[in-house]
Amino acid sequence: MAAEAWRLYHRTTAARDHQTATRALRTVCELTGMLGQVNRRRRPPSDLVERLAKANAILDRLPGVK
């Protein structure tokens, strides 16, 4: 799923559809973060939620990103 979202990100960026590209990038980040979390099993799930919330907040502050 992460690979498909990454391909979608590149296609939408090339088409200058930045809103869809941002959504695809967030999906990639969420999927890879969760997959990494499952593989490592070092951090509690609440830490993952906090990291995703911080990453989304950073993306929201970027100009032109919706």
**pLDDT at site 11:** 81
Q: How many CB atoms lie within 10 A of CB 39?
A: 8
Phi, psi of 62 (to 5 degrees): -70, 135
**pLDDT at site 48:** 67
pLDDT by residue for the chain (66 residues), tens only, comes to: 667 777 777 788 787 878 877 777 777 777 777 656 655 655 555 666 777 778 777 777 777 765
Asked whether residue 55 is domain-assigned, the answer is yes
Q: How many Cα atoms within 13 Å fall on the side-chain side of residue 12?
A: 15
Asked whether residue 54 is domain-assigned, the answer is yes
Residue 25 belongs to what domain range?
2-61
The verdict on pTM exceeding 0.75 is no
Asked whether residue 66 is domain-assigned, the answer is no
CA distance 43 to 16: 37
Asked whether residue 49 is domain-assigned, the answer is yes
